[in-house]
Amino acid sequence: MDGAQDLCPAGYVPIDPASVPFVANFAHITRYDECLEVLLADAAFETGTFEDYSEPLCGGALVFANGDFHRPRRKQLNPLFSRAALERYDELLSPAIERSLDELRALADEDGVVHTDLMRFVRLVLVRVGAQIIGLDFMDNAERGNALLDYVDRWNQGVTVKWSTRDPEQVVAEAMEYKTVFDAEFFQPSVARRRELIARFEAGEIEREELPNDFIMLSLMPDSTFEWDEELRIRDTIIILNGGLGTSAAAVAGAIEEYSRWEGRDPSREGDDDYIRSIVNETIRLHAPVPYLPRRATRDVTLKSGREIKAGEMLVVLLQFANQDPEVFGPTAALFDPDRAQSLPRGIAPWGIAFGAGPHQCFGKPLVTTAMSTTTREGATLRAIVRILKALLAAGVERDLEQETKLAASTRPTFTLFPVVLHLDLDRVYA
């Protein structure tokens, strides 16, 4: 699609919400302080799909649930992002990156040059981590990874149907077909295996510590504080898998785009973890991968700014606008500046509120951001996007200018194709 190159002009301009049919008539929340206030007050501003098409695919799933249907469920899933779990995912990442690069090496010319689609590369790396988080077994061959990725891509169109420019019934019908196939091929075998493990645990044959720490297992545990039914279990699976892959790939593409144009670019620092981290953080601030968060007011509310919201009013929290609020990020807020984090007001994250805030803050945020050791302030691990970007830069990644990028058929612009060139040494380890 023409125009994709304009997605990230120097000085990023968010899409005008008035041009997005689904939210054109909603109240537009753009100030950082107002966005934060709305996101934190989940009792006053409820979330939801706010359309009927995607209900059978993802209605009631974690990101669209409120109050008692949301909080106990999310808490039950805290072990998915415990420190130990994050370390396990970290350990999976490097082999997953190398494995995907190996697959590309087979396609490279004699100089090690290979042309590929960055979006698929990143999603393919992460789908293996996603499968681990969900608890999908038998993911040990490339075909399974590719198949799962195809399902996730199709679900993505269904989950985000409110932004689609295609026929919504058709989009969701296609996604539902893939849901049925996924259920039979991937999901039920993994559920059955975990039910067996729970039965063995209850019979005293194995210890609790021997049970896998994954979504399916947590959702099946008899002492769970939230009761999933079969349908909700698979809807949450769809949302969790869908949530991480496309947004992460978009962040890596945005980082490569912004970094390639940044005047402060310093290739000699591309092995420096903090340098790469600052590039990722600043990219995510500017290009919040989920830019619009619709909400419905459950009661009359006057925000601290004095703005009045009426009960029943629909509003949309516009994260990309909030993250360019000059009151918080200064007069150069629209510009890509990885050094910005050093001068941000205290309490403001380098990525702003790109992950949302409050009860519905992005579930997978810990996979992206890095927490320092709380006692030494050191020992930060390299989380997914930073690790992938670092490996790609080491492989000399650059936009393939001979091929055009493509955008999704959506009023929420995201790349579906981002051609890049890599320069791979046969013997080098990149991740």
Query: Residues interacting with other proteins, by CB under 8 A?
Result: 36, 40, 71, 74-75, 78-79, 81-83, 346-347, 357-359, 361, 366, 371-372, 374-375
User: By C-beta, is 228 or 363 nearer to other proteins?
Assistant: 363
CB of 375 to other proteins, least distance (A): 7
CB of 374 to other proteins, least distance (A): 5
CB of 46 to other proteins, least distance (A): 15
User: By C-beta, is 81 or 275 nearer to other proteins?
Assistant: 81
Q: How far apart are CA 86 and CA 120, in angstroms?
A: 23
393 is written with which tokens? Answer: 């830069």
Question: Any residues with CB less than 8 A from the CB of 293 and at least 6 apart, and which?
Answer: 39, 47, 316, 317, 319, 356, 360
CB of 364 to other proteins, least distance (A): 11
User: By C-beta, is 59 or 359 nearer to other proteins?
Assistant: 359
CB of 61 to other proteins, least distance (A): 17
CB of 298 to other proteins, least distance (A): 17
CB of 319 to other proteins, least distance (A): 14
Cα of 191 vs its chain's centroid, Å = 24
